[in-house]
Amino acid sequence: AAAPGPRAVVMTMGALHEGHFDLVREAARRVGQAGTVVVTIFVNPLQFAPSEDLDSYPRDLEGDLAGLTQTLTGVDGALGVGRLVVFAPTPEVIYPAGQPSVRIDPGPIATVLEGRTRPTHFAGVCQVVLTLMHLTSPRWALFGRKDAQQLAIIEAMVRDLAVPVEIVPVDIRRESDGLAMSSRNAYLGPEQRKQALALSRALRAGRDVAVEAA
Residues belonging to the active site: 20
Which phi and psi angles does 174 have, rounded to 5°? Answer: -115, 155
Helices (H), the chain: 18-31, 61-72, 91-94, 114-117, 121-136, 148-160, 190-213
Give, as one character, the DSSP assignment of residue 72. H
Give, as one character, the DSSP assignment of residue 147. S
Distances (CA, A) of 39 to 20, 65, 132: 10, 10, 10
CA distance 148 to 137: 24
What does the radius of gyration of the chain's CA atoms come to, in whole angstroms? 18
In 3D space, the residue among 10, 41, 6 whose CA is nearest the CA of residue 24 turns out to be: 10
AA letter at 162? A
In 3D space, the residue among 9, 6, 17, 123 whose CA is nearest the CA of residue 67 turns out to be: 17
Distances (CA, A) of 51 to 15, 90, 121: 21, 21, 12
